[in-house]
Chains A and B, each alone.
Chain A
Amino acid sequence: MSKHQIHLDINGRAHDASVEGRLTLCDFLRGDAGYTGVHVGCEHGVCGACTVMVDGLAVRSCLMLAVQADGCSVTTVEGLSSGDGALHPVQQTLREEHGLQCGFCTPGVVMTLAALTQGEQKPSSETLINAMSGHICRCTGYQGIRRAALRLAGETLAPVEDHG
């Protein structure tokens, strides 16, 4: 197998590595770089768990090779919150809305929502819900994910009622 030298930025740190051409970006991020928050759920681009940001865009890291990320800036879920331990607004909203159970699909959900809400973007709720259709969650029935997406789009939700 041929080896390729790559240089990329991951979560603000420079990484140099020698990788095989066939190594997927997700396996590189998890194994070589140690960012195990990147979760591999299907390896064929359907479940969305492995989503990371590459140069600011949400990307399925199982469908991209490590060599293709040469020269890129990659953000994984570990790199999202600031150093002081405070959660990123997407993470905080998902927590408040009980948007996760087992947490395996969660890093992908977080990264897609973070990519679409970063900077000055003001995505509509429709945009965020549409994007969430690219993530499979087997636990939650998407109830908290939907509420979080609506809130991140600026909608005010009625507080949850406790009946009886």
Chain B
Amino acid sequence: MNQPETRTDRYIGKRQARSEDLRLLTGRGVYTDDVSLPGMLQVAFHRSPVARGLIRSIDTSAARELPGVFAVLTAQDLERYQPNMLSFFLAPPVVPVPLLAVDRVCYVGDPVAMVIAQDRYIAEDAAGLITVEYEEEAPVVTLDDARQGPLVHPGTESNVAAATGADELDPDLEELLNSAPHLEVIEMKHQRISQSPMEPRGVVAAPQGSGEMTVYLSCQGPQLAARWFSQAFDLPQTTFRVISKDVGGSFGLKGQPWREETAVVAAALILGRPLKWIEDRLENLTSANQAREQDMKLRVAFDLEGNLIASHADYGINNGAYPHGADSNIAVMMFLWAAHKLQAFNFSAKGWFSNTVGLGAYRGPWALESLAREVLLDRAARKLKIDPIELRRKTLITRADQPTMTPMGLALEDISPAECLEELLKKVDVAAFRIEQAEARKQGRYLGLGFATYIEPTAGTAGVIVLISESCHIRIEPTGKVSAVVSTHSQGHGTQTTMAQVIAERLGVPFEDVTVYEDDSSRGGYGSGAYGSRQAVAGGGACIRAADLMADKIRAIAAHVFEARPEDVFIRGGRVHILGAREQVYSLRDIADVAYAEPERLPEGMEAGLETQYRYCPPALTLTSAAHACVVEVDVDTGFVRILRWVSSEDVGNMINPAVVEGQVAGGLAQAIGQVLFEEVSYDARGNPTAVTYKDYMLPTIFDVPVFEYLHGASAPSQTEGGFRGVGEGGCIVGPPTLVNAIADALAPFGELKLEFPLTPPRLLELIEGRPMGRRHG
């Protein structure tokens, strides 16, 4: 007799085609703008054309008289609702954040009034008919302005929005820095970035007679958004139900509702009508919170062998006028030296208010740590005449060095950037490249090779109240089909596929039989959705545990009803097999029939039905690691950079779907390329944004992004349920230094790069030609 097949089908680790794609490829997805309701009206905002000033008067009479206009609201009209504009962590703001400007405007694009009309064309016509008189004041635009200029928010003590670290220099640390054999210092300025999801923000707010406020929202997780609205509005009689089916990308921008979405909800409460606001691209590039405008001075002391002795960082980040959460970006400091053998470290970090649109999250918000460190390490290597790879081998914490503790108090158990680097070097032949590079230089061609390594916190939960756990609720329906409600959410992540892969494998059912729902805060339990690169770890863990509970229940029922031993019951291919002299096979429908319709046949004390749920709390911190390399050619006549090769070697633990993992790496790398070479939200001296279309804000196209090569050989399972580590932000963190180091290597004969981003052709030509070139803006 053949051994009975007891293994279930394998889905975890497979390049499963995505179930989302069937609707998305055929135009049948439901994004927020695809929702239309009876009686729904459209919203357009009148926005400030000045960056800083007092509102002297607002005249909305002409707008109100336009046929088709239903209402025009200003701050005064919204006074009944003064929501507490919480941060992502649900902390109250450090300065009051009005929904509409009250008596002062704080940035170009600051919403002053909202028009509600029968269609968007009329709403925009009417918004253009509103007249506002301003008393314009000199604005605070840049970080340097913020440090010296007038108060952005009168009544505050300074323009410091948030601060961590110490202003005072530590004399012992200074002594270590100043007496070291080699002190490397870099100063860098990172430009402002627009997250630029292809679908801008959007909301439909529909008050229901029952007291429910149904909010269709482009967001990163309907559960967190519903919790945010509920806590922000604090209206016990109103239930906030958030529905978010398909979302066209987010990258941090839609992690929490902000002024416009919240103003639309408040207006719907006041007017009792369904209202829709869809952000257009001009609004998205000027009025949606932005990211990354930072500067940093980093000092690092080395001995002559390249060992790290001490470091100090002085860091600033532009918070704009109304940041999603006032922030000095402590994670930059947490991760700057977390993977390196360096104990003496101190810093000062400040977030600064300015008369620009507020700070939001962007993929890997703390990414400047990797850019600063990796660029500095390469510079030090050039000066100390040490191979940059040897410098990393010397300074990185390896698997053998762990467990250990970082100077900032992070416990490390299983990071592997050094091992990822060794894996990378199996595929990137550095010696061969150096010969090619030397030959090319003889012909006037400048090739460069850059490396970078990093670690990334993915499912970090410690102390972050909104991120502690995720839930999965599985039902075998009376029909025998499997439904799962998971607190994950996809803005392109494909979690309806990956979570179904996990459940199908653990439960022993075909992938096609599992439907995952994650689009409605009224079904399932709280979870943060896509925040951090955590969904595989937190959501995947919840799915494993809930599926295992379900499999146990099915086995117990089958054993009891069909008089078998539980250990002889197996579920595979969606059918329940009972091993024995004569194998019996039942469908899940057979088990569901008993569980739902004949509960008296269940084991004594067992709850009727087939429903299980599990709320999984991942470990306090899960980390991924990676090493990347890229090869560029810089055209020294034009300053253009061409990327010839890019290889990624990462440790993301066990993979649920390698194609999804690689998609996340690739997407992050494309954004990295945009950051280093093209993208810049720029302002003139009066605070006017000067990149307000995709002709000025330049996103990478297919010509700018090379074919990426992926190496997964350094991966090791994590301690989490399933051994996953998570993926998402990494490419956007390790990508920039990899590319900058390649450009710096190519142009090393001309000297060191000035670290002002993006590295546009004029900026590179300044180095190549040794003379100032025209600037793109201002």
Interface residues of A (CB under 8 A from B): 20, 22-23, 30-31, 35-44, 46-47, 49, 76-78, 80-81, 87, 91, 94-96, 98, 100-107, 110, 129, 132-146, 160, 162-164
Contact = CB atoms under 8 A, between A and B. Distances in A.
Nearest to B119: A31
A44 B694 CA distance: 8
6 contacts: A101-B249, A103-B25, A103-B492, A105-B248, A138-B198, A139-B667
A129 B24 contact: no
Contacts of B251: 138
B206 interface: no
Interface string B706-743: 01101111110000000000000001000000000000
A38 to B, nearest CB: 7
B247 interface: yes
A36 B33 contact: yes
Contacts of B197: 102, 104, 138
Contacts of B281: 41-44, 47
A102 B25 contact: no
A163 B713 contact: yes
B27 A143 contact: no
Contact of A142 (B15, B658, B702): B702
Nearest to A164: B713
Nearest to A147: B707
Given A102-B199, A107-B27, A143 B666 contact: yes
A142 B705 contact: yes
Nearest to B715: A164
Nearest to A98: B659
Given A39-B198, A138-B671, 16 more contacts: A36-B33, A39-B199, A46-B695, A76-B27, A77-B26, A101-B492, A103-B23, A110-B25, A134-B701, A138-B251, A141-B705, A143-B663, A160-B15, A163-B712, A164-B711, A164-B715
A42 B694 contact: yes
Q: Which 6 A-B pairs have the closest CB atoms?
A: A37-B27, A164-B713, A104-B248, A103-B24, A102-B492, A101-B492
A103 B663 CA distance: 13
A23 to B, nearest CB: 8
A101 B668 CA distance: 12
Chain A interface, DSSP helix/strand/loop, else mixed? loop
B572 to A, nearest CB: 24
Contact of A87 (B25, B199, B713): B25
B666 to A, nearest CB: 4
B586 interface: no
Contacts of A103: 20-21, 23-25, 29, 246, 248, 492
Interface string B204-225: 0000000000000000000000
Interface string B403-433: 0000000000000000000010000000000
A58 B493 CA distance: 29
Contacts of B198: 39, 41, 47, 49, 102, 104-105, 136-139
B634 interface: no
B599 interface: no
Nearest to B735: A141
Contact of A41 (B27, B199, B490, B713): B199
Nearest to B494: A101
B693 interface: yes
A104 B199 contact: yes
B426 to A, nearest CB: 10
Interface centre among B121, B423, B708 (most CB of A within 10 A): B121
Interface centre among A23, A81, A102, A135 (most CB of B within 10 A): A102
| Most chain B beta-carbon neighbours within 10 Å: one of A30, A134, A141 | A141
A36 to B, nearest CB: 4
A20 B701 CA distance: 35
B248 A102 contact: yes
Given A46-B693, A100-B21, A102-B492, A162 B702 contact: no
Interface in B176-210: 196-199
Contacts of B15: 98, 160
Nearest to B122: A1
B28 A37 contact: yes
A132 B700 CA distance: 12
Contacts of B33: 30, 36, 40
Contact of A144 (B23, B36, B494, B663): B663
A143 B715 CA distance: 22
A53 B197 CA distance: 24
Given A37-B26, A102-B492, A106-B24, A142 B670 contact: yes
B669 interface: yes
A42 B246 CA distance: 18
Nearest to B693: A44
Given A22-B121, A100-B25, A162-B658, A136 B701 contact: yes
A60 B708 CA distance: 30
B643 to A, nearest CB: 11
B17 interface: yes
Nearest to B195: A138
A80 B28 CA distance: 12
B131 to A, nearest CB: 22
B31 interface: yes
A34 B478 CA distance: 35
A140 B31 CA distance: 19
Contacts of B705: 141-143
A28 to B, nearest CB: 12
Contacts of A96: 17
B663 A98 contact: yes
A95 B708 CA distance: 19
Given A136-B699, A141-B708, A104 B666 contact: no
A110 B27 CA distance: 10
B180 to A, nearest CB: 39
Given A103-B492, A141-B705, A164 B699 contact: no
Given A133-B702, A138-B671, A102 B693 contact: no
B588 to A, nearest CB: 25
Interface in B246-285: 246-249, 251, 280-281
Contact of B21 (A20, A95, A160): A95
A135 B705 CA distance: 13
Contact of A78 (B26, B494, B710): B26
B615 to A, nearest CB: 27
A14 B406 CA distance: 68
B660 interface: yes
Given A40-B33, A96-B17, A138 B715 contact: no
Contacts of A78: 26-28
The interface centre, meaning the residue of A96, A100, A142 with most chain B CB atoms within 10 A of its CB, is A142
B717 to A, nearest CB: 13
Given A41-B199, A138-B196, A80 B26 contact: yes
B662 interface: yes
A102 B695 contact: no
